[in-house]
Structure 1
Amino acid sequence: MRILIIGKNSFIGRNFIQFSKFKNITEVDSINLVPNEFDYSNYDVIIHLAAIVHQTKKIGIDEYIKVNTELPVRVAKKAKQDGVKQFIFLSTTKVYGDISSLDKPWTEETTCNPTDAYGKSKLLAEERLLKLADDRFQVSIIRTPLVYGKGVKANMLNLIGLVNRIPLLPFKNVKSYRSITYVGNLSALIDCLIEQKIGGIFIAQDSEPVSLEDLVLLIAGSLQKRVVLFNPGRLVIKMVKLLFPFVYKRIFDSAVVNNEHTKKILNFIPPYTTIQGIQETVNWFVNGSK
């Protein structure tokens, strides 16, 4: 099985090469890639990872569309022409929107309502890619929430650093829940899609969502740090919501998926627990984040 990853040296790509049972894997740098001129005929599967994710600096919707929508569609069209059998596109649960809950989680069938340029560009790519699918060209879409593991950046890395530095944190009884995905579980899901050659829309996550309070305690345990959690109180929560709505959303809102359909159709069980995933991520952090 010959696999080509679009997006060289990415966090997910590096880990997929490590975890995957397939070993004939090649990466290509998307920056210098000319999709219509590249010869994909030597590959059976394309995994498209290249994307612009959330940026601190202001980037217009046009740039998101160019990289997150137009690039993968151009690659897929040429790959199909060259005889590639399967195109796997890494999407995001941001295509659904911002907030869901344990009693009303997002599923593979949930109507999408993205609220930012990132989610909108990914959804548009999904729609255009699925139109290319036929019996000879499978298009597999993986919608994933936050992915963590060795080499992770942004939110998860910041949270580990926070727990490592500060022994007193205001997360007691904060019952916001998040679906998260250990990169080892994501890699296993990708392997499963390749083995079964199945197209459609799939969702990745660990076996079950985790509350922010429990996630902090898992990280602290892996760090072997004693952390005391306290309740921030209603007044503080209201002030955060009023003055720092972006921070409030990240801490107190839930974003939960239910991927029972994915697991059933693929007969898939995530091979790693969240505890194992957090421990591996923390070990990487403690050893210098190399």
Structure 2
Amino acid sequence: MNIAVTGANGFVGQAVCEVLRAQQHTVRPLVRNAHPAWPEAMAVGSITADTDWAQALDGIDCVVHCAARVHVMSETEVDPLAAFRAVNVLGSQRLAEQAAQAGVKRLVYLSSLKVLGEMTEPGHPFQVNTAPKPEDPYGISKWEAERAIQRVGQATGMQTVVIRPPLVYGPGVKANFQKLLQAVARGMPLPMGGIHNQRSLVNLDNLCDLIALCVHHPAAAGKVFLVSDGHDVSTPDLIRAMARALGRSARLISIPPAGLRLLGRLSGRQAQIDRLTGSLQVEIGHTREVLGWTPRTTLQQALQSLVQADLK
């Protein structure tokens, strides 16, 4: 199968390309700018409502759309929602329209769990039929992009598949997950021993395995799928798992979550503290049932691989 992958130089995109090639697909990596170190990648420029995808989509059977304007902690745009919509909604709609015109049979869209919201009550995970309730500009844009792509599919007959991952981790991961891992590696005391939350995560291997399955599985057409490692963890348990992967002892101090949240407000880090103390769970029974898929890699296995790759 001939498969085009947008955002092919990104954290997820690179891994998707590797998995698809290993499965003997012909992969066309699509990136914003050409780079001499990656001559096989095709540059398409910025993703907007005016991007010309014709050459990039010529002869392609399936598109895996990973490229996006991603969520950032320190937003600099005056109108963040407009900036997200320009790329994630209008740019994705343009891609879908031109893919349908080019005869692409299926488009697999990497969305986000943020479409459903930011937190869940412990023991009450998001499910595939949970009503979307995005709270920030990024989540809103991903929800609107899902609908735009699905409308194109319904109007043209091109099959669409939507995947909504929670936090993705693996070799090369950045942002808060990387910072937490580095803190554990340095043996820093962490005041999170009193947190009793539950969070769903998905490692890069499991996510790419599901994406590759959605490229060709007949039952995936027209569906939305939630994905995770299939085993939720509390923040203290995640820290302990990181410590085991690093061959260290976890240095956890118990501070009540209310105290941590107060510190977050006073330090301007409320969003980060909320994620560390709150729950965000997904139920993947629908994905298992429809696709016959099960996560192959455990949290501990994935952390061990991450440590070996990133902290040598």
Please report the TM-score for the alignment, with normalisation by the length of structure 2. Answer: 0.87
Higher RCO structure (Cα 8 Å, ≥6 apart)? 1
Secondary structure, counterpart of 2:54 in structure 1: coil
Name the CA distance, whole Å, in 2 between partners of 1:96 and 1:252.
19
Question: Identity of counterpart residues, as a percentage?
Answer: 28
Distance verdict in 2 for CA 1:149–1:22, change over 3 Å: farther
- Partner residue of 1:270 out of 265, 274, 295: 295
Between the two proteins, the alignment pairs up a number of residues equal to 287
Q: State whether residues 15 and 150 of structure 1, in contact with CA within 8 Å, keep that contact through their aligned partners in structure 2.
A: no
- Partner residue of 2:76 out of 42, 58, 77: 58
For the aligned residues, what is the CA RMSD? 1.8
Structure 2 alignment gaps of length 5 or more = 33-43
Paired amino acid for 1:58: T
Offset, 1:41: 3.1
CA-to-partner distance for each residue in 1:123-157, whole Å, 9 max, x for gaps? 00001111122484110000011111111111211
Name the CA distance, whole Å, in 1 between partners of 2:99 and 2:238.
41
Paired amino acid for 1:224: G
Q: How does 1:34-49 map to 2 (within 5 A)?
A: 35-39=51-55, 40-49=57-66
Offset, 1:236: 2.7
Secondary structure, counterpart of 2:152 in structure 1: coil
CA-to-partner distance for each residue in 1:256-282, whole Å, 9 max, x for gaps? 111111111001011111111111111
Offset, 1:58: 2.2
- Partner residue of 2:150 out of 114, 130, 143: 130
Q: State whether residues 184 and 243 of structure 2, in contact with CA within 8 Å, keep that contact through their aligned partners in structure 1.
A: yes
Offset, 1:228: 2.2
Residue 213 (structure 1) aligned with residue 236 (structure 2): yes
Q: State whether residues 175 and 211 of structure 1, in contact with CA within 8 Å, keep that contact through their aligned partners in structure 2.
A: yes
Q: State whether residues 100 and 106 of structure 1, in contact with CA within 8 Å, keep that contact through their aligned partners in structure 2.
A: yes
Structure 1 alignment gaps of length 5 or more = none
Residue 286 of structure 2 is matched in structure 1 by 261
Name the CA distance, whole Å, in 2 between partners of 1:171 and 1:65.
36
Secondary structure, counterpart of 2:163 in structure 1: strand
Q: State whether residues 261 and 274 of structure 2, in contact with CA within 8 Å, keep that contact through their aligned partners in structure 1.
A: no
Q: How does 1:1-290 map to 2 (within 5 A)?
A: 1-20=1-20, 21-30=23-32, 32=45, 35-39=51-55, 40-55=57-72, 56-59=74-77, 60-134=80-154, 136-197=157-218, 198-199=220-221, 200-233=223-256, 236-237=259-260, 239-240=262-263, 242-243=265-266, 244-287=269-312
Name the CA distance, whole Å, in 1 between partners of 2:239 and 2:141.
32
Secondary structure, counterpart of 1:152 in structure 2: coil
Name the CA distance, whole Å, in 1 between partners of 2:25 and 2:242.
32
Offset, 1:239: 2.4
Please report the TM-score for the alignment, with normalisation by the length of structure 1. Answer: 0.93
